[in-house]
Amino acid sequence: MRSFLKYCKFSDFPIENLPYGIFTAPGKLKPRIGVAIADSILDLNEISQLFDGPELKKHQHVFKESTLNRFMGLTPKAWKEARSTIQNILSEDNPVLQNDDILRKKAFTRQSEAKMHLPAQIGDFTDFSSSIHHAKNAGNLFRGKENAIATNWKHLPVAYHCRASTVVISGTPIHRPYGQAVLEDGGLPVFGPSKLMDYELEMAFFVGGTNNLGEPIKVENAQDHIFGFVIMNDWSARDILSWEYVPLGPFVSKNFSTTISPWVVTTFALEPFKTDNYPQEPEPLSYLRHSDNFNYDIHLQVDVSPKGDTMSRTVCRSNFKNLYWTPKQQLAHHTITGCKMNPGDLLGSGTISGESPESFGSTLELAWKGTKPRNLLDGSQNKFLQDGDTVTMTAVCKGDTYNIGFGTCVGTLLPPKNIY
């Protein structure tokens, strides 16, 4: 597959990718739906009339929106037709856009000149715990080795509801939050800025389509409600978390900020990179079983740049395929009660850790709850995040002839606001 736009062989955004995002072009006030191709953004608002296939001819208006919600609310047939149309428009054999200088000038914006926004209006946000290696590590630290994995963990995808209002786009700085924490075992809580700030390497998917209240999304149909994936950093205040999480789980230790990457990579783009599902023992209950593979070989990396340091340090290399529970199982369990999902709802994977220390997806694990310095891959050491640290997460599927990239998920930790 060849595009008339030129890019290097292993660009994040080849014609095989075509992720969706929301951007503002220079001189334009209204955010628009765009598709990343090479180092540019194709403005779908400017070419909406070209979506004239049987699924989209009556829905061209969705490409004139300022969020992806209405497009996400269409069917997989419509999503597939949109992808095919865009690939055709960008093909080196199609003159419609390639040979129209006026339309080309209007339709393309350089990524470096665009301002990115949240891809959708996020109505609800749920975060799962789906990596068995992270669950074991966290369980060892908080409950001890004998009770590391909770009794229910291998029977259902555990999760908690989060704050959609504090999900922010990559590049948005965050402030160290305030909260209660216990500094010594058996001591009384104190109030102040978190001392143990952490990142969490995650992926998340946006829900597409909808279901009626009271009607579960069955696991065999769940893929029809998974629009696409982003990188996610679910920032965590570990000292606040360890004090508050019993008995109801995380609260203010997790609700202050969650960062996501701006480009939503569709399941169509990820199809060639499917891999075996993680072996599950015991076999889950029937409503969670599916025989088709819905796991992906996505290489994940975390880099940390201290304040004033131009050199980033790689602290983690992990992979999406380390997830025990698949996105289909997450969605099926979420709706088993008949919970209604809406286009643009966001479901996070939970921290994605591998078996070895260099693949641990959080500082909690790398620094073993602060009891030892984390060993960075460049040989240096550190513990939890310091003010001014910038965390950069990347994700890429590596193919023989092309890559599928997700861009970057970046956030800088700022000092606490002086309000108390």
Residues belonging to the active site: 134
For 160, residues 6+ apart whose C-beta sits below 8 A from its C-beta are 126, 127, 249, 250
Closest by CA position to 411, among listed 395, 377, 381, 388: 388
- Measured CA to CA in angstroms, residue 125 lies from 75, 129, 199 at distances of 21, 14, 18
Q: What SS3 class is residue 409?
A: strand
Separation CA 46–CA 97 (nearest Å): 11
The amino acid at 413: L
For 366, residues 6+ apart whose C-beta sits below 8 A from its C-beta are 315, 316, 357, 360, 374, 375
Separation CA 105–CA 92 (nearest Å): 17
Token code pair at residue 106: 């209007």
Give the chain's count of helices (H) and strands (E).
Answer: 9, 26
Q: What SS3 class is residue 15?
A: coil
